[in-house]
Amino acid sequence: MDVFKLRNDLIERYRDYATSFMRIRDQRIYERVTEALTEGRLWPDPQIGLNPAFHAGGTIDQLVADGLLHPDVAPVFRKDKAKSDAVGRPMTLHQHQLDAIRAARDGHDHVLTTGTGSGKSLSYMVPIVDHVLRTRSGSGVKALVVYPMNALANSQLEELDKFLKRGPWGHRPPVTYARYTGQEDDEARQRILTNPPDIVLTNYVMLELILTRYRDRRLVRHLDQLRFLVLDELHTYRGRQGADVALLVRRLREASGSPHLLCVGTSATLSTEGSHEDRQAKVAEVASLLFGATVRPSEVISETLERATPEGDITDPVFVSRLTARVASGAPPPASFAEFVDDPLSVWIEALFGLRFDDERLVRATPLALDGTGAGAEQLAEATKLDLATCRDAVERQLLAGYDVLNPTTGFPVFAFRLHQFLSRGDTVYASPEAPKHRYLTLNRQRFSPGDRGKVLLPLAFCRACGQDYYVVSRRPSGDGTGLVPRDLGDQTGEQGDVPGFIYLSDDQPWPDDEATVFARLPEEWSDDAGKLRPNRRDQLPRRQVVRPDGTLDLAAAARQAPRWAGGRRRPSASAWPAGCPTPAASGATSPG
Q: What are phi and psi of 271, to 5 degrees?
A: -145, 140
pLDDT-based confidence at residue 591 (cuts at 50, 70, 90): very low
Could you count the other beta carbons within 10 Å of the beta carbon of residue 124?
A: 24
Residues 228 and 119 in one domain: yes
582, pLDDT greater than 70: no
- Do 125 and 25 lie in one domain? The reply is no
Instruction: Please indicate, yes or no, if residue 350 is contained in any of the structural domains.
Output: yes
Q: What is the pLDDT of residue 512?
A: 77
Closest CA to 276 of 251, 246, 298, 249: 298
Average pLDDT (516-545) is: 81
CATH number, residue 286? 3.40.50.300
Question: Domain for residue 43, yes or no?
Answer: no
Together in a domain, 333 and 469: no
Residues 354 and 216 in one domain: no
Domain count, the chain: 4
- Say which residue, 545 or 373, is predicted with more confidence: 373
Highest mean pLDDT among 200-214, 268-282, 572-586: 200-214
Please give the pLDDT value at position 560: 66
Q: Is the predicted pLDDT of residue 551 greater than 80, yes or no?
A: yes
Looking at residue 317, its pLDDT comes to 96
pLDDT digits (tens, 9 = 90+) for 458-483: 999 998 888 999 999 988 887 667 78
**What backbone phi and psi angles, to 5 degrees, belong to 98?**
-65, -40
For residues 399 and 499, state if they share a domain: no
Are 173 and 24 contained in the same domain? no
The dihedral of CA 448, 450, 454, 457: what is its sign? negative
Q: 425 versus 125: which is more confidently predicted?
A: 125
Residue 286 has a pLDDT of 92
Cα dist from 247 to 208, 294, 585, whole Å: 10, 15, 60
Selection from 74, 68, 143, 134 nearest residue 103 by Cα: 68
Compute the average pLDDT of residues 298-325.
Answer: 94
Domain stops at, among 375, 393, 420: 420
Arithmetic mean of pLDDT, 386-414: 93
Other CB atoms within a 10 A radius of the CB of residue 37 amount to 15
Looking at every residue in the chain, the average pLDDT score rounds to: 88
Tell me the per-residue pLDDT of 15-39, one tens digit each, with 9 for 90 and over: 888 888 788 999 999 999 999 888 8
Same domain, 86 and 191: yes
490: containing domain: 430-576
54-75 pLDDT per residue, tens: 998 999 999 999 999 999 999 9
Q: How far apart are CA 359 and CA 346, in angstroms?
A: 24
Residue 416 and residue 472 in one domain? no
* Same structural domain, 286 and 313: no
Q: Answer yes or no: is 189 within a domain.
A: yes
Lowest mean pLDDT among 79-83, 374-378, 414-418: 79-83
Q: Outline where 467-574 has alpha helix (H).
A: 515-521, 555-559
Q: How far apart are the first and last CA of the chain?
A: 39
| Res 563: pLDDT | 36
Q: Quick one: 77 and 162 in the same domain?
A: yes
The answer as to whether 50 is a domain residue is no
Question: DSSP assignment of 141-182, as one string?
Answer: --EEEEESSHHHHHHHHHHHHHHHSSSTTTTS-SS-EEE-SS
Out of 120-124, 329-333, 517-521, pick the least confident. Answer: 517-521
* Mean pLDDT, rounded, for 232-243: 91
Residue 104 lies in a domain: yes
User: Binning pLDDT at 50, 70 and 90, where does residue 410 land?
Assistant: confident
Percent of the chain with pLDDT over 90: 58
Q: Report if residue 586 sits inside a domain.
A: no
CB-based contact 324:386 (threshold 8 Å)? yes
- 478 shares its domain with 343: no
Whether 51 is covered by a domain: the verdict is: no
d(CA 46, CA 351): 19
Between β-strands 573-576 and 499-506, what pairing exists: parallel, antiparallel or unpaired?
Answer: antiparallel
pLDDT of residue 276: 86
Quote the pTM value: 0.76
Q: Looking at the domain assignment, is residue 588 inside a domain?
A: no
Same-domain check for residues 220 and 127:
yes
